[in-house]
Structure 1
Amino acid sequence: MTIGRDLINNHAFHETDRRKVAWVTGASSGIGKSLALRLALDGWTVAVSARNSVELDTLARSLEKKIHSFPLDVTDREAAENTVRDIEMRLGPISLAVFGAGTYRRDSLSTFDAASIGEMVGLNIMGTVNCLQAIMPAMTTRRSGRIAVMASVAGYTGLPGAAGYGATKAALINMCEALYPELERQGVQMTIINPGFVDTPLTRQNDFPMPFLISSESAAEYIMRGLERGKFEIAFPWRMKVVLKLLKALPPSLRFALTRRMLREEQT
């Protein structure tokens, strides 16, 4: 069973479409790169976007005629809209859009910085908003398509060291939940992707143990399976998802008792 067939069954695009076109942002490295390769190997024509045009071109050359480079700074709203037009003019209607462009910076009380958090908000939230604004009119007009937004299990609850990052991911989760009913009414499906720790250039800067760490290739497989099933939320690995959802469900007194322990470990 391929992702293309299951997406059709979930009304992601019309059965008469002969060419499956996906657009992946944040595709120069990490999960986005692995997912773009996985989609291409599964028969998709993939448009890849990121700011690093050199890495994009290298990726496109690895699977010529299947992966196509469209450099983009997602914080540029006009550029995002132009990119959608360029992709659809060159490759055809976008059936699947995966918005994975984002950044991560660890913080603490001593390093809490408005400028740094502002950059994360600009890229993680507004960069996604710009891409959503660019793609939603085309998909709702066709009454088909699927949009997947990369958030994080860090968006479930507040964790020491992730005040800024977690806040941006919580905002994305909330935004997708809000958009889901209206998009569904217009024939467009919405998915939120919540990874745990994945081995990427961003997480390699961490100087603490990362439980249940998986490779970006494994992350891509989780995402593919979730898309095949038409799921709203794709969260992985399951143990990380369960731990943080249980943490969120605890009364504040118990939840903070546990997060205080995390703080002590960081300070020792």
Structure 2
Amino acid sequence: MVYSAVCCWMASWLGASGGVQAGEIDFNRDIRPLLSDKCFLCHGPDEQTREADLRLDTQAGALTVIQPRDSDSSELIRRLITDDESERMPPPESNRALSKEQITLLQRWVDEGAGWGQHWSFAPLDAPEVPKVDDSNSSTSGDRVAPIRNPIDAFVRARLAREGLQAAPEAARETLIRRVTLDLTGLPPTVAEVDAFLADTEPRAYERLVDRLLKSPAFGERMAWDWLDAARYADSNGYQGDGERTMWPWRDWVVDAFNRNLPY
């Protein structure tokens, strides 16, 4: 039973991790999300739904079938590569056979130590050093790259340099206001708003534009989209009789929560 449980875990993890490139495999990035999505229902903290008495939401539980830094001695690996179909995991009838690349990826993770890692949301905040980059070829106009205005720009520019890429030129102001307005409100700017922004030649014109959009009621409406979609929000049943549902108070509360900047 334990090995059947392992099958559930491994099929889900490797199914989405086969594209990890060379380099150390990161547990939080490559493994934990898949465990949560695919395995915790049957092998997580809920005793009522847990199968085979195997917990894969804890390091101790997962290590019952893994020998860190020794994939050859890990029962998990043996079950994945065995020619005995009665022992192979995942079972052939599950139609979740792992590719050679996925099995190799799993072996790499085990041989690297099967690192677990703290969930990012509980990790201490870290303030990395802002990279120093050459900003001498930047300009707010013409074909030269956009200047660095904040630490995020510096990190992006440094990564582009490592990849041998060059930052794009500064966007035209007409393009800039359209992009940021769509991003923050989901609506295009009006002609009057575009004209006002183009006429504002002060150094902090863009910052004032962003502040205005953040204070707009449309900001909360735009930010609420994803939350309402995740909850499958609808004003009616949407099927057969399509009866009305009194759901709008919750919708308005979510919108208002964003506009009032309530904490999560």
**TM-score w.r.t. length of structure 2:** 0.23
Which has a greater percent of strand? 1
Structure showing greater Rg: 2
Higher relative contact order (CA 8 A, sep 6+): 1
